[in-house]
Amino acid sequence: MTTDAFSEVRVEAPVVAAVAAQAACATPGVIRLEPGVRGLVSSLVRVGKQRLTSADPAPSEGVRVRRSASGALSVQVDVVISADRPASVVGHAVQQEVSRVVFEQTGQMVDEVSVTILDIEPEQQ
């Protein structure tokens, strides 16, 4: 039996943020994500909501996701990188990896990935 009914699948921002965080952390040159003050506040709110519903929160500190009224998806990532690679190369790689992995795992197209490099740690000797 077939049906012509369509249903909408919408992946919520916390899920997209967790996927984006994993993708950013897996990018060569990224040491870690940094939440910053704004990220800490939103992270505490998200974790509180998930704990109230007995859900284990996926780590997404340092990532913020916004969806515009038109449905456009914007991801902001705050990272600390290693000094052994140029910042522009790492930033661009994070943009590409976040866009690719979010689409692969959620089916959601990312319209914009903004990367803020908060620190560059010296090379390990």
Q: How many domains does the chain have?
A: 1
pLDDT of residue 119: 94
CA distance 40 to 62: 8
pLDDT value of position 24 = 97
Is 2 part of a structural domain of the chain? no
For residue 51, being part of any structural domain is answered with: yes
Whether 63 maps to a domain, the answer reads yes
- Which pTM value belongs to this model? 0.77
The mean pLDDT values, 10 residues at a time, for the chain of 125 residues are 70 91 96 73 56 63 90 93 96 98 95 96 77
What's the CA gap between 34 and 80, in Å, rounded? 7
Residue positions counted in the chain: 125
**Is residue 112, in this structure, part of any structural domain at all?**
yes
The pLDDT score that the predictor gives to residue 125 is: 60
Domain that holds residue 24: 13-121
- Count of other CB atoms within 10 angstroms of residue 106: 18
Amino acid at 75: V
Give domain status of residue 96, yes or no: yes
CATH of the domain at 83: 3.30.70.1350
pLDDT at res. 48: 63
Q: Residue 6: inside a domain, yes or no? A: no
